[in-house]
Structure 1
């Protein structure tokens, strides 16, 4: 019996002949029959068995066969995780080919965090988070099964300490901080070399230049810039002070950042730590504490307009519980911020709270944005919320399978780092603007 691969090769000529004849006669560039024949041949082999993969960017001279040899895999395996090439195996420079990644799985034990696991396996925290679809601040629990990606070799990393003129294509989940850590360079050098500031975002597909060791620290660090959608109501500025945390048994930097509601990257920065820094019992850790001034509002029914990056994320930190008031109907429910970096990802506390949310959105959870007021620690903040449950969930038995999005001034989307105009419009309404 012929293997699926030889059946594919036998039918490939038929497909090519048909395509050539069609292109000559009618110039039609999409040939449906190729997909139909190939999918009937391979339908039983395409699976998720190679769901964990890395990506290869096609260069001149590449073929699927060469790529399979380069990554020590079979051509059949490449077709399984790249079904788009089944009907047309031609590659163009710049195409992305998924290649199987050699991975192992690890069962989370008591006391484990993403940071401790990534350090144990000598991989970057960003690699671990990306392979397991985790977000900044997310918890993992004993018994969870996580993926440990194969450590990238030095020749794949294109280490910037020994080479110059290296280009890096930004992937989903990347930030300037994670990229600079992966290449073992300072974040300021990376930002300066690419004309960026600490408030700029990077986007999937964007190409960044990685400075060589001789080029590092030779560029002027740009000033930190912040351009809010509109100016704050007054000139009061947040004040940052510090307290000291003494490390106890079971602590690591990840847990400490969650406990104090401080972004992990900021905790590293203020202490001068690198991502793989180990803390020991008795160590003293600087914890930034933000005093966010109360701003005047346009009236008792409106909320303070707080910038997400410099103010709101510290007033509503991870694990904070608060009341939400729908601006248009006055209906109230309670929620908790359980995760979120670019905006607050929240969950209703109870099934009753979820039921009130559903009622506010007309009987169905949805992505529709609504202006809301957040009551927290005696303050009223202007915000905008959607209600559709999605992605990660921490609170159970609340009849809400996931979390919902809560936006403040200048909050952005996680997927692309861009602002959401409808959310901004709503929160400005809640602020009386």
Structure 2
């Protein structure tokens, strides 16, 4: 009897176990897709897993859309300063006034200090090892001053990895009032036999003349032979006082002619009443040549004296013309010579140019009996120091002050 009862219990337990197993198998079958391969094997793919994956993909897509929508187009913003005008700002960025007005939906050119102007999209440059503002400006065909302004840099120092906005290549600060077809490529020249004036880098180049940039080792005689002209024709065309040449100096050369060409002028720059033209160094270097005598007026004291330009390739090296001029210059500095930068106006040949003066006598002396043992410096827009070929931020600030900015 006991054996019969035990057998019945075993059978019941077995039936219950088999029933549960069949139930679990049915549930798993409902949750899975059974895919048969050609070799008869099966691949099980969980419906829940597929659903979870699709849900995750939808979430990721939504996140991506949200990121795209939240990433605005980044453009430079310029904060207007006292003395700014649209032509000046546009020239810094290498764009036209019309582009600037359109970007800011302006109907008039009126702007006021503190206004913020949107600038059209510009190219970015990531600073690399050994980059300097000078090298970037030279490669870009712009100026250090323009790079500093568009990037709102207080100093000239930049660091590896910095991001800089680059002014458009078609523009340059050199000619704020010039047309948009200016070409700043120093290697281009007017073709020989040209019969019309050509605008190049801000210069108006007469017919029959080439704009040549002096290279190291050049002499006036060698340049004259190269272009089929004479040394005197070159000197008279450029109103030169001496035969001294400096690398990168702009020189207008008559082509296949011994006749000098007259009437060439440095480009005009819009000025603030009572101040000087913020004339680029290339133009100031040509307009106020070595060997010339200019009147230097200190803006702060109002005192003036005569200065003789010795030379200088990166900025002008000068001496007071006479001992009386030396006495006036020394009084401007309070009776003691100093490297301190001062805003001055340089008046020469009908033009008044914004400049910065450093008053410490240094280096060699060329003018006798003027009680000044050495020379002093005059800096102009984008001129550079001799020692490192870099702009001096303090001198550039004084140039802007002398221009009324």
Same fold (TM over 0.5): no
TM-score scaled by length of structure 1? 0.40
